[in-house]
Structure 1
Amino acid sequence: MKKDHVFLVDDDRDLLASASDWIEMNGFQVTGFNNAIDALKQLDNVVPDVLVSDIRMPGVDGMTLLSTVRKSHPGLPVVLLTGHGETQLAVQAMKAGAEDFLEKPYDADHLIAVLNRAIKRNTMSAEIRRLQKVVLSSPEGVGEIIGNHPSIVRLRERIATVASLDVNVLIVGETGTGKELVARTLHEQSDRAARPFVPINCAAIPDAAFETELFGFAKGAFQGADKDRSGKFEYASGGTVLLDEVDALAPPLQAKLLRVLQEKMVERLGENRSRPIDVRIVATSKTDLQSAIANNEFRADLFYRLSGVTISVPPLRDRASDILLLYAHFARLAARRYGSKPNEIEPEHGFRLLAEAWPGNVRELKNRAEAQALGVDWALESASRGDAQSAPSAGLNDEIRQYEKSLIQRALTTSGNNVAEAARILQIPRRTLSEKISKFGL
């Protein structure tokens, strides 16, 4: 297993040696330098996972090293070491792009925690950049089933297998998982692709309108029926009918639907003759139909008619490795639609996306990405951070206050707003942190 690599720069040879030993004992690979020039030369050959440097050194100091590295290796996190009481210098370092800073003499365990956090953020940044490149180099993909998780790979394979089989399909999955997208993909990969794909939202059709919507009506069947009209089943002839949320159908309507599926005939309201239909039925359900059958809420014979093949769509929480890819994909599509440029995803935002439960699944993630494309989400985040790095020059007390606020916000973001964990990261009592959170209005 590859060890994370740390470049450590300090002109104090004793401190350099002791710090290097401690970092190596904690599982890192360390390359030590007693001056910044040698570290910069080595960066031409090897790029570490994080660079740690003292600020006050003869010749090229830590601030100059930071500035140079930010230009030559913008993705490399830099942690600076400052002397006691040099808070203003630390604030300047953070504004210049330092990942973090430690005040000498620093706690050895805290140093390791800072290194782990910096590397984790750097890894997240690299993954976000990689995924955004993947999304930018891919086709439009508006109707594609996006994802690299094994469950999604298997889903695409199952769709490809089932699409050519002229059998009814039942798609099961939680709300927002993309069941309709799976249904459309089945249709598009089938021999019926050239014919209509007709979605019917079973939960939205009033019971009284069910027959006329699905089966049609004859002229004079009721007041206002001034001409014959075919229903959705006839309109979809040769194609696919999607019965979305079929579990929402009332029992009497289930019986009428069952008869049509059994006989493959429809009878328009107000007409005595039956008309043959040639459609493939794809139904979706967000509930367990077996349980509904056991509770006498769904007909067993209808279930067997619908479920010639069953396809399960996994919830987003079970394919968390796809979250950032999906987010970048939806953000790109939304930005193009709104004529805006996709915002860069900050590492903290990536961590937050991965930490959320996503009860609304892919649909909820898509909504979040579209909000980001409009600048809504990001504006709120920017305000919550306090914009310490973009604040105008102020007095020392104001600088320290803004910097302290940004550190607390970062710790809260990293910990998923867990105050106890944030207090551990900051190494302050929980009560003190709670008081500061209230003070800064976080």
Structure 2
Amino acid sequence: MTFPIRADTPARFTAPLPAAADVVVIGGGVIGVMAAWFLTRRGLSVALCEKGRIAGEQSSRNWGWVRQQGRDPAELPLMIEALSIWKGLSEEVGADLGFRQTGVLYLAEKPADTDRHEGWMVHARAHGLDTRLLTAAEVAVMLPNAAGWVSGLLTASDARAEPWIAVPRIAEALAARGVAIREDCAVRALDIAGGRVAGVVTEAGRIRADRVVLAGGAWSSLLARAHGVRLPQLSVRATVAATDPLPEVWPGGAADRHFALRRRADGGYTLAPGHFHEFFIGPDAFRHLRPFRAQIRNDISGTRFLPAAPRHYPDAWGTRRRWSPDGESPFERMRVLDPAPNRAEVERLRARFGAAFPGLGRPAIRTAWAGMIDTMPDVVPVIDHVAALPGLTIATGMSGHGFGIGPGVGRVVADLVERRAPGHDLARFRLSRFSDGSKIDLGPAL
């Protein structure tokens, strides 16, 4: 399979839509697929609607890290569970997902980075992680003939997987078990009756369901807003490059503040900027300015601001905010969000890799892509019921953390849908934190 998944990737999931289901899941990324996985295991009938391709957006465009290290402490219990699920997922699915526990290594370029790593160790210890601080000498042993980092932070139990392989294969296993999965099937609107969810209206017809999961990634806010639900979600463009096969310099994921790498199953490395994103300024940037002020004040040095394109993006100036359920929606106009990569940044990634590993030099790039990472003002997701619309559960705003934590979030979402206790404190992820006067808390994540 080529990567990432794009709009011209042939559709593989074309199941006929049922007239009714116990639950409809909107969005075929890792969160939606894993929610469907756990809902199905509980005997519920599930229909999953994806406007474009399964894993077509961030779920095939991310770095492929499965990490506990560096997360917001509120995410750690969920992530620890997610890692446990990942360990047995290939066997359950009946296919290799590329999952390997090869460790995640954060590299410090200066003493201030070491201080940050040391500060996060209190959370690692509190959750019993195998995270440890490395001296410069220990880093040099792990990365021989590499640039001189002053220290490191290593979680050896962290892992990697192949995003463009893992999520579609999980979906294939779901389809084989009778789950109705339909690509090229945008949900235009929720069907509301008596003030609560009664189903969805798709471009291919209606599905009756008294429970709906909105896991639409960067598009979630647009659909939610059409039903009066305020979700302060914005997106940033992130560029990624894939090298040709190279000798192994590190078997897992590693990053400093300038670039990140992850060993792939094909012998190449996935490279990405460590602290650089591009933000397109659209109408929602002004609408949600207040909740994002804390993030702006904290550190925007790694963000480049650009005017939003006239179309294509969820927050583009030309994106329609109102539409009829009986006509074409913005979700059909953009099947797969496939922004162009920043080519200058790709060249900087080559240079940074070559400087870090002078024995290998600048690597040849097999391909490059970009994705739109949906982010929330406090850089943690929304995982919650919508009180104003009984029957609707939202799981979105993963803020670049979704691939690894996806199985844990999917399990929790299944509990929320069934009104079971989720087993974790989800207060940090409640939707109401943006409307109840709570202070925006960026937390101590790295």
* Larger relative contact order, structure 1 or 2 (CA cutoff 8 Å, min sep 6): 2
* TM-score interval, normalised by the smaller of the two chains: under 0.3
User: Between Structure 1 and Structure 2, whose CA radius of gyration is higher?
Assistant: 1
Higher helix share: 1
